[in-house]
Chain A
Amino acid sequence: MPTQPTPVLEVKHVTKRFPGVVANDDVNLTLYEGEILALLGENGAGKSTLMNIIYGLYKPTEGEIYVRGKKVEMKSPRDAIALGIGMVHQHFQLVPVMTVAENIMLGAESVKRGLLDVKKVAQEIQELSHRYHLDVDPYAVVEDLPVGVQQRVEIIKALYREAEILILDEPTAVLTPQEIEGLFEIMKRLQSQGKSIIFISHKLKEVLYISDRIVVLRDGKVVGETTPAEATQEKLAAMMVGREVILTVEKEPARPGKVVLEVKDLKARSDLGEPALRGVSFQVHEGEILGVAGVQGNGQTELVEVITSLRKAESGQVIINGEEMTNASPRAITQKGQSSHVPEDRHAYGMVASYSVADNLVLNTYNLPPFAKGIRINRPAIIRHAEELIEKFDVRTPGPHTPAGSLSGGNQQKMVVAREFSRPIKLLIAAQPTRGIDVGSIEFIHNQIVAKRDEGVAVLLVSAELDEIMALSDRIAVMYKGEILDIVPREEATRENIGLLMMGVKRGEKVGATS
């Protein structure tokens, strides 16, 4: 940081109201030239809203924004771009069917005699990738590129527009540990070339590692500012959540019993008809948690879908409690197989948003007594059941009749977990059980999963969050391109060796030419 820091961006008293919600409440924020400012906060704390205001996508209800000391009024991203603000969105804003060059020039096209000058753009992209070590092929089609490379395209997109202020919204969420290191190197290099960066994250370790200054947001308000030198993970977590949080999961060593789930040489195809599982085999014993790690899109989704019979297996076997259940009906799997499923996409598979919390809590048991009386539904029993679970699983809802869709993400997930964990089960399949929810709820769900294990349930945990896998699993299976590359006992697993496996490098192999 320069000795006398110049503010490049100032947010003054910004409030943003959506119908029924205050997303940002009197927020003040200053970004100095050449610094990496971390904006830390839970999902729903208002980080993305604030960034969308700075980028001109939303208009603030109240408050002002200054760029290099001048008050600015942004009507659209076009104005933000003109002021030298660039943003890498959490969900990449890339057109999958277009080439890298087309994506980068969109909105700032080079034109020669009325036609797009792709050659010139490609050349400029190559110059930029050279200067910042951001390796991309301008002619590649975006959907064929790995996520890490797509992110580089997003960064180049901002640099192509000569951005001086870069906003990176949750950039590490989709990356492998090695890709994250690469991103941090890029960020350091951008910083050394004078760019100012706002780095948004809810991962404490990363924030402490990369940033110069940390601002914490909670419930739309700035609740604190600190530096990595002064802060610790525990302090930051407490600031984020507003109370003390235990970050590590306390658990006894596993006492595995007999095999509950066995998968033998399973093969299946993705929605696009391409092979997604290429012969997957493993066993899960009672009383243990098998974690499945891997970068998203390596067959984990299909694996869970095939085991729960939401997708057809082409060949191979799924054996639950010693009984062959390959391609059985989903109801047979849950009831006869005594299994539970916390799906990765709770909105699509885990709940009916317009149904009440009470109805959502009996989605897979409504046809059984006491909830069903003959062909009729026993409403009092359903409500009583709901009240019990809301209490036990700490679902924050106005009541059992509230539509599930109006709860926060964390509480929706607790509701799903309450439903799936409250039946007598032998097998638990949890896919991304803590995706997009707050630290407090994560802590709760993690403890519930461990409690199930200790009751003797076999747990299959699929997660893209390596920290979660490391915290909970007794054994870790790593998926890569539809295969299980290796299953590592927890004691032998490190972030490094699991990270390498996630990139497809088997133990003992050398790292290839992965950029």
Chain B
Amino acid sequence: MSSATKFKRTSMIGLGIAIALLVTSIIVNLLPLPNDSIWKVLFGVSTLNFTLRATIPLALGAMAGILCERTGIINIGIEGMMLAGAFAGFVVKVLTNDWPLMASLLAGVAAALIAGALMGYIHALFSIKFKMDQIISGTFLILLALGLTSYLFNPDWVAEGKFSPIAIPVLSDIPVIGDVFFNNPPITYTALILVVLLHIGLFHTKWGLRSRAAGEHPRAADTLGVNVNFYRYLNTTLGGMVAGLAGGFLVLEAVGQFQEGMTAGRGFISLAAMIFGNWMPFGALGAATLFGYTQGVQNALLLAGVVDIPRHFISMLPYVVTIIAVAGLVGRVRPPAAEGKVYETEGSSE
């Protein structure tokens, strides 16, 4: 009946798919199936591990997007923020190679966060202070990050070591769930906790209420004494940090090295996940999982040596699913109402 409920329901499609995936996987893994069964390939523990690894940067990117866009700042520059985070994390890791491994990695993470925050702040500055078109500012950040990191990158640099999984006692012994969720490196845990925190933050705290109001109806917030642009600066900078963390994940946890353009469109898929999840943290996590799973399946199918389908088609899978998911949602999601609009406190509106 209420349109608000309708939109809330849409945001949960991704989450529903993610949960269905997990349940299917538990059943499949508990059944005595041969290892080369197609079910094992599609839903085995290793596929789910792949899925989670592919999901984390997408989920972090989507959280970065939600942070910015909920306050009304469009952020298509996540790709650039991620790349900047990845590069900064890599450089600091290389510079601190002779420190103890953990200290060196944490320094890398700090650098990724700072680089991301800086990118976010620049985006906020352009969008709010200089009233630049937010799409252009985002595009600028992507190009800046691509150009700068390629220019500064030296292929001789080698980062030594990356984050290794930390098994959580007791929980990691649960069949399937333990293997997938409770035996991971730290940024993965951080990302999952962040989704929960962001949900609570947005919908159950003062900060969240004001942030959402700034993105939906800044004038209303302003008439109640809420400083709209303060929340826009704050959240866009925080969003940049989270995107930077996604870059840090790629370098310090997943790959261990930096490669030119290594984000490979993940920032854009994050945006798709954010939209598919209707700007809700759990919805976006579900959507990120769906997209991550297509990458997991792609990997699993290629490893299993499926030859009936040309591998190019398998490689296409993540992108095709992204396009279908987002195209199928036109009119069913609702972005924050004031997104992309400059808010000016005083002017002759009449």
**Which residues in A have some Cβ–Cβ distance to B below 8 Å?**
18-19, 21, 23, 43-44, 48-49, 55, 57-59, 76-79, 81, 87, 89, 93-98, 102-103, 105-109, 111, 114-116, 141, 143-144, 157, 272-273
- Chain A residues with Cβ under 8 A from B213's Cβ? 95, 98, 106
Tell me whether A105 and B209 are in contact (CB under 8 A): yes
Closest-by-CB residue of A relative to B334 is: A97
B312 within 8 A of A: no
B199 within 8 A of A: no
With A93-B219, A96-B216, A144-B3 in contact, do A18 and B225 touch (Cβ < 8 Å)?
no
Tell me whether A109 and B206 are in contact (CB under 8 A): yes
- Chain A residues with Cβ under 8 A from B225's Cβ? 76-79, 81, 107
| CA–CA, A275 and B205, complex, Å | 37
Tell me whether A143 and B4 are in contact (CB under 8 A): yes
Contact size range, B: 20 to 34
Tell me whether B216 and A95 are in contact (CB under 8 A): yes
Contacts A59-B346, A107-B210 known; 9 new A-B pairs at CB < 8 A: A49-B350, A77-B225, A87-B223, A95-B216, A98-B216, A116-B205, A116-B206, A116-B209, A143-B4
Tell me whether A141 and B223 are in contact (CB under 8 A): no
- Chain B residues with Cβ under 8 A from A87's Cβ? 223
The minimal Cβ–Cβ distance linking A189 to chain B, given in whole angstroms, is 24
B35 within 8 A of A: no
The minimal Cβ–Cβ distance linking B312 to chain A, given in whole angstroms, is 39
| CA–CA, A49 and B226, complex, Å | 20
Tell me whether A106 and B210 are in contact (CB under 8 A): yes
The minimal Cβ–Cβ distance linking B215 to chain A, given in whole angstroms, is 9
Contact string against A for B residues 196-240, beta-carbon threshold 8 Å, 1 for contact and 0 otherwise = 000010001110011011001101111111110000000000000
Tell me whether B222 and A106 are in contact (CB under 8 A): no
B331 within 8 A of A: yes
Tell me whether A93 and B204 are in contact (CB under 8 A): no
- Chain B residues with Cβ under 8 A from A272's Cβ? 3
Tell me whether A98 and B3 are in contact (CB under 8 A): no
What are 10 inter-chain pairs, A to B, with CB distance below 8 A? A93-B223, A94-B217, A96-B217, A98-B209, A98-B212, A98-B216, A106-B213, A106-B226, A107-B224, A144-B4
Closest-by-CB residue of A relative to B225 is: A78
B2 within 8 A of A: yes
Tell me whether B346 and A106 are in contact (CB under 8 A): no
With A44-B350, A109-B209 in contact, do A95 and B217 touch (Cβ < 8 Å)?
yes
B345 within 8 A of A: yes
Point out the residue from B200, B209, B227 that lies within 8 Å of A106, measured CB to CB: B209
Tell me whether A115 and B205 are in contact (CB under 8 A): yes
Tell me whether B226 and A107 are in contact (CB under 8 A): yes
Tell me whether A57 and B2 are in contact (CB under 8 A): no
Closest-by-CB residue of B relative to A161 is: B224
